[in-house]
Structures are given as structure tokens and as C-alpha cells.
Chains A and B, each alone.
Chain A
């Protein structure tokens, strides 16, 4: 090859890179390893990570069974090793599955359009907030304190430099749900959107309908956030919300220490041109056959540059495909039955523990404990990872912890948790 190019050595290819910026030593990285050594390294490190423990952690990342079909499909080279489907004629596989994904997200959420995915739920929230600012021409955001604390931190980072003030709305110390009277007090004519999560961070099903009415009465939009997608199998979809920003990790996406996950934004048709992210639409090819392609690109960074709705480019396509396969495998009956099992398991465990809040809950709930850390310590001795102590994010809840039970929680482990609490 060098000969064809009239060169004598590979180094000649870099002759135009000034010598003073060249690295004059080898990289300090150990020599290449074999497949066996690499897998051995990761297996060893994996075994140091709570292997064999039962867990009652939720708080935005949930343990749900992953049907075998999911990895079978996403391991196919044609999905795994393809790029963003700009060339529609040879990307109909990816495009069709995204169109199905968008459809199922609409069916689940009661919205009319959905994008192809966002990085995760936490970044979907500020993207939804910025979308509301563009749509309303207002600049103030109200966010419930019962929205996931880390999501609110991400919102703070995004909003700070765009001069978008964010004001927090309290929750009721009794029910654990959004304090609607505090919302009434804080909403004003500058409010672009009210952000409510349901089930909220405490697991409580919010009265988002009432919050939406209040928002709409003041000309603001309601952004509905969810972190536990399985709940939509049994909970009413947020039909009266204006934008839905959610996390699909529950749909067959491994916890993987926090990512990669897949977020979504869904909304009403009239708002679609302000929606960030990739969108797939249906059309025809020149032979008249149904075909799909990326569309409404006039919103996006590669066309609009500094005037784009967002800078997002690569999103979470393969992870969204996991969710698509999951929704297909469980389907209409299955998602409902799965949600029902979660409801039953959580209520079984909650029934044995001192509940902190009175509001209705799905598969997560807050319990009182004099010292959450001490309880967790005792549970660890039984090879059980307990709940999330709430003191760090909610100083007023330092004697409370958040527990989650899913279809994967075993009755005997739940009984052990109850015994540890009782002692």
C-alpha cells in the first residue's frame, strides 16, 4: 500500500504533524491482552460488586427481569454495528423499530408524538423544560421537590446558564405527594412549566391531574416525569400533561451502575416542532412502498447549528431497541400483569413496615427508621441490600429510607427485611 502512495514508511504519513507536538515515547498503557485475560479481569471485578445479594434499591434504577429475547435481538450485528439511520434505503430495520418505539411510547403515555430517545430521564427533564420555555415564551420553571433529587440537580446545571430560574414546590409531610397549595402560591405569569414526577421519588402516585389544571389555569405547561416505566402498565397515562419526560431503564435495561439507559420525550402534536432529538416518520419510496426515514431535521443541530432545539446528536438507539423488544415480549397483557406483580410485592413488604407517608404507591415506599444506616448494616449481614437513606437529599427525612420491591423480590427476603426492622 505504501508503494502505491510513493511512501517508504508509515511514519511518513505524519510528516506534516509538527515534531514539537509529537509524542516522543510509547503510551504508558500495559501491553495488549488476550480475550481470556480481559474477561478474567472483568469477571474478577464483577465478583467484587454485590454478587449474590438481594436488593431493595430503587430510586430511579429498578431490578426487573430481562427477557432472553432482548439480548438476542440487540446482539444482532445489523442492529449493534450500524450507525444513525441517515441512509434510509439501507436502514429500514432501525427506522422501523424506532417508529414502533415512538408508537408504543405514545400508547403508554397518552401523548401524540414521541422522539427516538434522549440520553436518560435526568437529561430529558431539562430538555423538556427548555422546550416549554421556547413554547410559552416564559422563563420560569417550577419543579416538585418530590422529583428525583439527581434529576433536579441536572436541571439546575442546565438552567443556570440560560437564565431560567427554577423554583421548588414542597411536598406534603403527611401524604408524600406534591403540596398543591404551595404550587398555587408559587405559580405566576412568568411560569413556563410545572414539573411533576409520578410515581414520585417517594413512590407516591401524584395527583398530576390537579397540578395540570393549576398549570393550565396560569398559562403554563405541565411536564410529567416518570422514572419507573413499568408503573404505566397499571397507572392512568398522563393524558392532560403537555410534555412527558421519562426514563425507560425498567424495560429490560440492565442497571449497569447507572447507565446506559434511555430517556424519552413525548408531547402533543402541536408542540412537535419544538421537541428535541431524532424523530422517525412514515413515507413511501419511489416504488410506492411504505418506508421510514428520519424527519423534521430542521429542528436539529446538523441543520440549524446554533439555532437548534438541542445539541443532542448520538442518543440511545440500541437501548431504546431493548425497551422496544421488552414491550413487544410483554405486550398488552404482560405489562399489566407485570405491573400487578410489582404492586402486590411492594404492598406485601410495605404491610410489614412502618410507612412514613399515607399516599397511594406503586412499587416504592418510604419507611421510618431511627437509623437507616444501622438497618442497612444489619441487612447486609443477611446478604440483603436495603433501601436508600433519604437524609442526604431531604434533611427533614433523615430517619426515613426508600425501599422498592419488584417482581424479582422473593417473599423470604422480604420476610427477612421485616424481621430486621422489627428487631
Chain B
């Protein structure tokens, strides 16, 4: 094994509730400048609460040590390569964080007068405009809170369009390589799902599509490049087949980091798409959110956009609620505005040319890994790829080593694993997306690690199967967690242990 990491000491940390002792506190409120009110008399005996049983009681120092010690048990982009396929784990510039914390923006209330909100409305308008240019679409809503929420919004708009033409239709076509959110979205929007098989190149089979596309189909939900990293070569033709049947082309923009500045969905036939600002536009993943899932549409779908919409009048920006054909609201207020600010800061820092350069570097990095890893790992789909590539564990499986084992072993080498066992069309999938963030040196380190693991899989498979070995937490028993769920701390449990 190449030894490029060493273990690192960090105190064990108990749960807050086990650290608590009565009377400790980490806050101080200013003295009350108005008369005290007795809760019992103001709220009534039925409503007044006596205490919050078992709530934590710790000092400020205990609180900061608690969270800092816990933080040291996390891997993060700022520690190294985070090659999760389809997640686009790129560097999160810190200037974005500063921008989102600017007082007037961070403390803006959604109901403050429009005349006193022009600055933030201008920021949102600038982002809408930039995203429309990047996607080649005609209008954008920033309301959806995440990618899946954007899918739901987009599909509801498709439904509203078709209803306005007489019939919402029955089903959505979804490729077998799609993200799980696509079929789940279909159900929430009242559609049945029909899966479409990929061909041996990992692309949509156009003949198959032509066969199944009929008047019951509302839309095809396509990810382009797809989850294999392959650009759908026949995308124009795919759009034409759907449009000939009166159906819409929905594009899942999860992989937009492969296309920015190179090709625009609006130019290749997409009618509606969502973007993930927390992927392509560098806003932090934060351990699972917040995200933001703007939806961009072509002209014919504009009347159905969620309300309210930003509109420009004589007195500046205003919120327009007078949208009779709108699908309605998908979220209170106007969206994850703090995330919008970060995304706009990213776009401003790059400019048009810089955005395109980022795409070039992302695709270069992915292909570099592909070429260097191909001698060691099975590559089931041979088509050229863009920002990510998908290997399988076929060769290592002969020694009883599976993709999840290789992933866990990568941890010992100081890396976060790739996406494991997805897309579902590749058995034993290892889905790798390095993003433009990584230098050649970091990529080489990662390649060394995977080559070393390939060797271990042959020579010492047990070492790989039982990884990770060098982490403070060894392999976690997820089966028992699901079988006997313990979903909150309880005092009795603390007494036992």
C-alpha cells in the first residue's frame, strides 16, 4: 500500500445530552426593557409549558468544542478530492459566503416593501438572466428549493400546458439510467412511469423511443450528458420525435457542469429543465443542503411558471401575482435566495469565458482519470464521456471485492469514495466525477490509490473487503440501524451505556 495518510488524534465526543448538566448556559440576553408577562395568565394553563425536558444545558466552550470535535470526523472538499459522480463536488468559493452575509441582503424580510427591496430583487433578476443565457432558455424561476423540487415544478408546468390543450396525458418516459428523483417526481405530479432502455453505448435507443412515444406520453425526462457521462448524440432527433407527438422534452440539469459555454439545452430541443445551483454553480452542499433548483423554460411554457414572478415596471422591480395560468406556488416566498446570491457571485467571478474554461477543465480531468484507470478497471460503456465516467467492479469481483469495498478502501487512502452502485444499468458501478477543481497532482494521487487498490484486490482481497482500517469509525452496521431503528437519544439509554 502506498502510505500517504497518517491517522490523526481527536478526542471522543459524547452527545450534547450526555455532556449537559443542570444550570449550565452559553447565552446571555439583554435585560428586558418592558414589563415581564406571566405566561400562565397570558397563555392560559392549557397552553403554558413548564419545561423542555432533557433539552441540552452546556457552556459556550463546551458547545464550540462539541461541534468542532464532531466536524473533525467529517471528510470535506476542503480536505481533498470528493469524486462523487453526478454530485459535482467542486470548490465552494468563500467570497460567495461573504456576499450572502451582507447585512441588507441577509436580513431582508420577504414582506418588506418592494421599494426597499430593489437591491435584492436586482440580484435575483441578474441571476435569472444569466441562467437563461447559459441554458439558452427564455425564462427562469428561482423558486424551487432543490433539484428534485425543480423537477416537480417543471413537470407540473408540462402538465398545465397539456391540460390547457385539452388533456394532461398519462405517463412520463424515463431512461433506465436516470436519477431516482425522476420517477419519484413523476408520481408526485400524477404521472405513471415508463422506463426506456439504454443501448450498448449507454444512450437512449432512438428507435425504441420512436416506438413507445405516443399520445399518452406527456414528456421524456432526460439527463444530458446522462449518468454515464455520455452526451446523447441524437438529442435533436429525440426532441423531434417527442414534439411530433405533442410531448415535451424535460431535461434534468444535474450534469450541466459538462455543458456550460459548450452547448445549451435550449438550442438542442429541451422545453424545460432544472439546474442545481449546489452542483454546477458552486454553492456549498453543506452535508446535504441547502440547494436550489431553478427551472428554465422555453417561451410556450412561460404562462405556467410558478407565481409570483419578477417583473420590471416604471418604478423598478415588482412581484407579479397576476398570472392566471400559473401552476401556483411551489414554496413560500421566493426561493432559497441566500443560495441565489452565492451562485451569482460564482458566475460574476468567472464571467462567460471563465465558465466555459471551467467546463473544459472538468471534462479534461474526468477524461484524464478515465484514461489512467482503464488498464485497471472495467469500463462497460465505451462511448466518449464528458464530465464523469463510470467503471464497474467486474475485474475485482472475481476476487470477491465489490464496488462498495473499493469505495471503503479509498477512505484509507484519504479520499472520499466515488458514487457507489449507480447508475443502476451498470452492475457494480463506480461513478467518478472529479470536477474542474482538482489539480493534476491531486488526480495523480487518486489514480495511485485506485491502482494500488486494484492490486490489493488481487493479492489481499480480505484487506479491501474489511476496509476502512485507518478511520476512527470502522465499517458501520447499517442493517441493524434499519432493523431496530434508534432515531433519538433518550435518557434511559444513556443510563444503560
Please tell me if B328 contacts chain A, counting CB pairs below 8 Å.
yes
Please tell me if B102 contacts chain A, counting CB pairs below 8 Å.
yes
5 contacts between A and B (CB under 8 A): A17-B386, A21-B268, A80-B284, A306-B186, A311-B148
Which residue of B is nearest A325, CB measured?
Answer: B67
Chain A 70-83, CB-CB to B under 8 Å as 1, else 0, gives: 01111111111111
- From known contacts A31-B351, A53-B116, A162-B188, infer whether A318 and B102 are also in contact, taking CB-CB under 8 Å: no
A216 to B348, CA, bound (A): 55
A294 to B235, CA, bound (A): 37
Please pick, from A27, A280, A300, A347, the residue contacting B352 in the complex, using a CB distance under 8 A: A27
A35 to B333, CA, bound (A): 30
Please tell me if B474 contacts chain A, counting CB pairs below 8 Å.
yes
Please name all residues of chain B whose beta carbon is closer than 8 Å to the beta carbon of A302 when the two chains form the complex.
179-181, 422
Chain B 449-479, CB-CB to A under 8 Å as 1, else 0, gives: 0000000000000000010100111111110
Q: Cβ of A33 and Cβ of B348 under 8 Å apart?
A: yes
Q: Cβ of A234 and Cβ of B49 under 8 Å apart?
A: yes
Please tell me if B334 contacts chain A, counting CB pairs below 8 Å.
yes
Q: Cβ of A331 and Cβ of B56 under 8 Å apart?
A: yes
Q: Cβ of A313 and Cβ of B352 under 8 Å apart?
A: no
Q: Cβ of B290 and Cβ of A260 under 8 Å apart?
A: yes
A151 to B339, CA, bound (A): 21
Shortest CB-to-CB span from B28 to chain A, Å, is 9
Please name all residues of chain A whose beta carbon is closer than 8 Å to the beta carbon of B318 when the two chains form the complex.
none
A44 to B103, CA, bound (A): 11
Q: Cβ of B110 and Cβ of A255 under 8 Å apart?
A: yes
- From known contacts A30-B352, A84-B288, infer whether A293 and B119 are also in contact, taking CB-CB under 8 Å: no
Q: Cβ of B383 and Cβ of A16 under 8 Å apart?
A: yes
Q: Cβ of A303 and Cβ of B289 under 8 Å apart?
A: no
Chain A 274-317, CB-CB to B under 8 Å as 1, else 0, gives: 00001111111111011111111110111111111011111111
Which residue of A is nearest B355, CB measured?
Answer: A27
- From known contacts A259-B338, A286-B475, A311-B185, infer whether A120 and B331 are also in contact, taking CB-CB under 8 Å: yes
Please name all residues of chain A whose beta carbon is closer than 8 Å to the beta carbon of B145 when the two chains form the complex.
119-120, 123, 259-260, 316
User: B33, B262, B416, B476: which has the most chain A beta carbons within 10 Å?
Assistant: B476
Which chain A residues (56-107) contact chain B, with CB distance < 8 Å? 57, 59-61, 63, 67, 69, 71-94, 96-100, 102-104, 106-107
User: Which segment, of A108-116, A168-176, A179-187, faces chain B?
Assistant: A108-116
Please name all residues of chain A whose beta carbon is closer than 8 Å to the beta carbon of B351 when the two chains form the complex.
29-33
A11 to B269, CA, bound (A): 23
A91 to B189, CA, bound (A): 34
Shortest CB-to-CB span from B142 to chain A, Å, is 10
User: B30, B152, B473: which has the most chain A beta carbons within 10 Å?
Assistant: B473
Q: Cβ of B476 and Cβ of A61 under 8 Å apart?
A: no
Which chain B residues (120-175) contact chain A, with CB distance < 8 Å? 120, 122-123, 130, 133-134, 136, 145-149, 151-152, 156, 159, 168
Chain A interface size band reads: 35 or more
Q: Cβ of B56 and Cβ of A91 under 8 Å apart?
A: no
Which chain B residues (285-320) contact chain A, with CB distance < 8 Å? 285-292, 306
Please pick, from A97, A108, A157, A279, the residue contacting B328 in the complex, using a CB distance under 8 A: A157
A93 to B68, CA, bound (A): 9
Please name all residues of chain B whose beta carbon is closer than 8 Å to the beta carbon of A354 when the two chains form the complex.
none
Please name all residues of chain A whose beta carbon is closer than 8 Å to the beta carbon of B284 when the two chains form the complex.
80-81, 318
Please name all residues of chain A whose beta carbon is closer than 8 Å to the beta carbon of B106 when the two chains form the complex.
46, 254-256
Please name all residues of chain A whose beta carbon is closer than 8 Å to the beta carbon of B442 when the two chains form the complex.
none
Please tell me if B324 contacts chain A, counting CB pairs below 8 Å.
no
Would you list the 4 A-B pairs with minimal beta carbon distance, nearest first? A258-B333, A318-B286, A46-B104, A48-B119
Shortest CB-to-CB span from B80 to chain A, Å, is 11
User: A207, A278, A284: which has the most chain B beta carbons within 10 Å?
Assistant: A284
A262 to B145, CA, bound (A): 11
Please pick, from B29, B110, B267, B363, the residue contacting A14 in the complex, using a CB distance under 8 A: B363
- From known contacts A69-B60, A256-B338, infer whether A163 and B75 are also in contact, taking CB-CB under 8 Å: no
A279 to B116, CA, bound (A): 40
Please pick, from B72, B89, B334, B386, the residue contacting A259 in the complex, using a CB distance under 8 A: B334
Which residue of B is nearest A319, CB measured?
Answer: B290
Please tell me if A420 contacts chain B, counting CB pairs below 8 Å.
no
A323 to B222, CA, bound (A): 36
Q: Cβ of A87 and Cβ of B411 under 8 Å apart?
A: yes
Please pick, from A29, A102, A279, A303, the residue contacting B180 in the complex, using a CB distance under 8 A: A303
